[in-house]
Amino acid sequence: MSHALITGGAGFIGSHLAERLIAQGHQVTIIDNLSTGRIENLASLEGNPSFNAAIEDIRNITVIDRLVSECDVIFHLAAAVGVERIIREPIETIETNIGGTEIILKTARRYRKKTLIASTSEVYGKGVQFPFSENDDVMLGPTIRNRWSYAASKMVDEFLALAYYKETQLPVIIFRLFNTVGPRQSGQYGMVVPRFVRAALRGEPIIVTGDGEQSRCFGNVYDIVSAIVSLSTSDHAVGEVFNIGSGEEVTIMELAQRVKQRTSSTSEIRLVPYEQYYEPGFEDFRRRVPSTEKIQRVTGWQPTTSLDETIDQIIAYEKEVL
């Protein structure tokens, strides 16, 4: 049995990862300041002797030092997330992502602990070569657009982690998460699928931003957690960067239509301009499609859950919540 530390462990993905690791017989400690995570996400683990939680900020160096010294592997998922939050709180986004990751890496180096760093498909920026591959060049928008602060901060996280690997041989693994969805995801900061499902179940307008022709690939959280775990046990993954996501591409308008159909909703699908929903000059990706050939080659992982199955899981969860 190993002991895993999950930063951001009360979040959507972190809580599912904690459940999976404990189900596999591991001990898990999570740390989360509950800025976007929720203690309710961990309800299934309450009272489990293999689970511990620290409600604290990852920038608390004293707490992080103790937790890292006690664990065998670190899953660093804590970050400022969500397009709406990134636009509204750019200082917190940059300081949390870069400062938090720096503290995790410095402490991991002190105790020589394997560290998996969660990055994002946002780092591909305005890329026009599809599907996105880990070695592609990237192009971001101007610094006057807050939209790009998240991508830039996560790129710095990647550079820093790889620098620790190169200079100190710290065993690090970076995984770039594409759109991940499933039960327990909050729509609080613009996450589109739970927002669509909730609107449809309530008979409220389903708000699609832009022209609706922008496309995404939505990966099921259970598949994504399997990918993360597979990387943690692979010696060949150390020092590398991996995409994790689904290859099933859908436009946001098509997604809204699927949600409406699968909920048997009478909701109106309404187009709203980006600048009205976010901020003037907001820039979005037209497509975001991952190549997962590398992780399949190294670990054998590939997604198995369809988008329709995922939507149905979210509908069932949201009905319980409602």
The answer as to whether 185 is a domain residue is no
Q: What is the pLDDT of residue 280?
A: 81
27 Cβ contact partners less than 8 Å away, ≥ 6 residues apart: 1, 2, 3, 4, 50, 51, 52
Q: What is the pLDDT of residue 312?
A: 98
Is 205 within 8 Å of 268 (Cβ atoms)? yes
CATH code, 91: 3.40.50.720
Q: What is the pLDDT of residue 38?
A: 94
The answer as to whether 209 is a domain residue is no
Q: pLDDT averaged over consecutive 10-residue blocks of the chain (322 residues)?
A: 94 97 98 94 97 97 98 95 79 92 98 98 93 95 88 96 98 97 80 95 97 97 98 97 97 98 98 88 89 98 97 97 85
Question: Can you give the residue range of the structural domain that contains 136?
Answer: 3-178+221-244+289-303
The answer as to whether 216 is a domain residue is no
The answer as to whether 183 is a domain residue is no
Instruction: Give dist(CA 279, CA 40) in Å, integer.
Output: 32
What would the two tokens of residue 209 be? 């931003």
The answer as to whether 234 is a domain residue is yes
Instruction: Give dist(CA 261, CA 132) in Å, integer.
Output: 30
Q: What is the pLDDT of residue 73?
A: 98
Is 140 within 8 Å of 296 (Cβ atoms)? no
The answer as to whether 62 is a domain residue is yes
Cis amide bond preceding 131, omega within 30:
yes
The one-letter amino acid code at 47 reads: G
Residue of 150, 164, 165, 278 with catalytic role = 150
111 is catalytic: no
Is 217 within 8 Å of 290 (Cβ atoms)? yes
Q: What is the pLDDT of residue 215?
A: 96
The answer as to whether 86 is a domain residue is yes
Instruction: Give dist(CA 220, CA 311) in Å, integer.
Output: 9
Residue 152, CA distances (Å) to 1, 102, 158 in order: 37, 15, 10
DSSP 228-283: HHHHHT-GGGTT-EEEE----EEEHHHHHHHHHHHTT--PPEEEE-HHHHS-TT--
Q: What is the pLDDT of residue 201?
A: 97
Number of folded domains in the chain?
Answer: 1
The answer as to whether 269 is a domain residue is no
